[in-house]
């Protein structure tokens, strides 16, 4: 369907692709992977014709439709969410718009003399609209929006009044409703809660066209893709299988390449030692020359490319008492909406609570109450006297001073720490070399999240309260975070829509439901086994 043949592309000084080739065939579900800045978005843009390769060719099969979802959402103000989604449905939405215009014209007395032509055109358009199942379009649009977490009220409200994350969902809904022959999805799992993520997973499993997508959610990708295309060093390499199989194959391939490299290095060292030892002896001249010629002809094995990995180790945190946080008889409302009525809950030392609940259940409110960022209307919230808390919330990223560099921002928080420890900390969280001098205002969402996390973890807390800590983080940084937190000796309370993060780190689950709270001993994996669903809003 879409073929890239020997493409080369340069962005500024960066060579993005060098004679790279790949294909996307009908029915394939492909995960596109590679380090940040490798050229994933550039590849999407070349496939849609928004950019051209410097050399080589991108060929798209005649007549196929392509739907492209990117993180760059246009302005949809003035439209309802339903109308904005229907607007992306191709010819059907154009016919719907013309039908609406013709209906208005038929009721306009000033156009009475055109009525015969208007009625004739209305019949033609209506016939074509029915052929394309247009009258089901509104229902299909609402079904997609419902799956993406919209209430009926939000569906009919102005998109312009929605937050950036909800606008992203509308833009994604347009592509899903369109059901093109090929779908290109750049990070579709961003901004989705767990229920919406699982709905999208099922939708894409049932989609019969070609799919190429990026995602920082390894579990989501694992369940959908049957092929991986990797961008690395300007080349495109295809691997059959899911993301987990690709990781295993890559690790095995790197191990083999390293062993081959080491064998050759040992052989070369031996030959060079012989040459150095005997080069001055006339009796060995022929042997030395023979070995020099042999070395000149050898194809040198390159060592495997090492992906930059970040590692962070917690410094030992001061031990807390057994009772870390206690809520008694807590009431909390926002206006006429009651969130909690008489809530009792306790976090004890070394417990790691994953908080589950549908949108609006009060997950973030619970974290704010425990962190002291919100006050209860009634009841008490108490933290133990020796508790030292680290609180990660999405709004913390908005509080970074845009005029300060990454390093200055760390220095502001830890003026006594000294340069070397702060540079080491920045390196652990992916800010190496010149990146430490970046101004906070130009940082991406992922970079801001990493900086806030670095500040939170440098002076080790013994109680972590984390609200969606993996939003914006790439797979490598998530892995680092999971590895680091698995060694953490304190208590944790967190909300996440990343199932790998939930399964790896929780040993308790708190489920918030309309009929009260339910607690589960054992972590997320046990919760799924006991309830039969992966999120509270789903029933299976």
Pairing of strands 182-186, 66-69: parallel
Condensed to tens digits (0 to 9), the pLDDT of residues 271-329 reads 899 888 888 887 788 888 888 888 888 888 877 766 655 667 767 788 888 999 999 99
The per-residue pLDDT of the chain, averaged, comes to 88
pTM, two decimals, is 0.79
Q: Which two structure tokens, joined as six digits, stand for 258?
A: 């390293």
The pLDDT value recorded for residue 539 is 53
Task: In whole angstroms, give the CA distance from residue 526 to residue 507.
Answer: 9
Which DSSP category does 97 fall into? Answer: H
Which residue from 86, 96, 90, 185 is spatially nearest to 140, judged by alpha carbons? Answer: 86
Cα–Cα dist 120/117, whole Å: 5
Phi-psi map region of 234: left, alpha, beta (phi>0 left; psi -120 to 50 alpha): left
Could you give the CA distance from residue 93 to residue 411 in angstroms, rounded to a whole number? 54
User: 192-208: string of b/e by CB count within 10 Å (b at 16+)?
Assistant: bbbbbbbbbbebbeebe
Which of these ranges, 71-80, 222-231, 386-395, 482-491, has the smallest mean pLDDT? 71-80
Q: What is the pLDDT of residues 409-422, one digit of tens each?
A: 999 999 988 888 89
* Pairwise CA distance, residues 439 & 222, whole Å: 35
């Amino acid at each position: 369907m879409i073929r890239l043949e020997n493409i080369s592309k340069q962005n500024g000084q960066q060579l993005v692709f060098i004679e790279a080739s790949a294909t996307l065939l009908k029915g394939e579900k492909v995960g596109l992977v590679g380090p940040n800045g490798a050229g994933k978005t550039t590849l999407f843009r070349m496939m849609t014709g928004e950019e051209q390769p410097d050399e080589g060719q991108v060929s798209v099969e005649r007549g196929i439709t392509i739907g492209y979802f990117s993180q760059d959402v246009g302005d949809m103000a003035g439209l309802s969410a339903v109308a904005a989604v229907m607007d992306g449905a191709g010819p059907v939405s154009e016919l719907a718009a013309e039908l609406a215009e013709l209906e208005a014209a038929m009721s306009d007395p000033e156009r009475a003399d055109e009525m015969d032509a208007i009625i004739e055109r209305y019949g033609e358009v209506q016939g074509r609209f029915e052929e394309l199942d247009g009258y089901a379009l509104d229902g299909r649009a609402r079904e997609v929006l419902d799956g993406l977490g919209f209430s009926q009220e939000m569906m009919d409200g102005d998109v312009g009044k929605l937050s950036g994350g909800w606008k992203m969902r509308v833009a994604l809904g347009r592509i899903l409703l369109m059901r093109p022959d090929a779908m290109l999805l750049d990070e579709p799992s961003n901004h989705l809660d767990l229920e919406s993520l699982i709905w999208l997973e099922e939708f894409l499993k049932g989609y019969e066209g070609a799919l190429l997508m990026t995602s920082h959610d390894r579990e989501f990708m694992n369940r959908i893709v049957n092929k991986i295309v990797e961008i690395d060093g300007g080349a495109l390499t295809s691997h059959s299988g899911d993301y987990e199989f690709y990781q295993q194959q890559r690790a095995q391939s790197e191990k083999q390449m390293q062993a081959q490299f080491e064998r050759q290095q040992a052989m070369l060292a031996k030959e060079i030692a012989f040459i150095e030892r005997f080069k001055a002896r006339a009796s060995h001249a022929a042997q030395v020359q023979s070995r020099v010629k042999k070395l000149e002809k050898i194809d040198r094995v390159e060592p495997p490319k090492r992906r930059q990995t970040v590692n962070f180790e917690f410094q030992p945190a001061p031990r807390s008492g057994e009772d870390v946080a206690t809520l008694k008889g807590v009431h909390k409302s926002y206006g006429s909406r009651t969130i909690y009525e008489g809530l009792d809950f306790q976090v004890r030392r070394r417990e790691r609570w994953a908080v589950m609940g549908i949108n609006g259940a009060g997950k973030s409110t619970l974290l704010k109450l425990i962190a002291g960022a919100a006050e209860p209307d009634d009841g008490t919230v108490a933290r133990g006297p020796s508790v030292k808390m680290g609180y990660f919330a999405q709004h913390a990223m908005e509080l970074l001073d845009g005029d300060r560099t990454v390093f200055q921002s760390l220095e502001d928080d830890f003026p006594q720490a000294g340069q070397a420890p702060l540079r080491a900390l920045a390196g652990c969280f992916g800010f190496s070399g010149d990146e430490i001098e970046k101004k906070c205002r130009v940082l991406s969402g992922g970079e801001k999240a990493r900086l806030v996390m670095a500040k939170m973890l440098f002076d080790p807390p013994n109680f972590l309260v984390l609200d969606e800590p993996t939003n914006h983080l790439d797979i490598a940084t998530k892995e680092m975070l999971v590895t680091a937190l698995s060694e953490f000796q304190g208590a944790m309370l967190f909300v996440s829509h990343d199932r790998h993060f939930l399964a790896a780190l929780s040993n308790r689950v708190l489920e918030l439901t309309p009929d009260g709270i339910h607690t589960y001993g054992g972590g997320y994996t046990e919760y799924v086994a006991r309830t039969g669903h992966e999120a509270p809003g789903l029933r299976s």
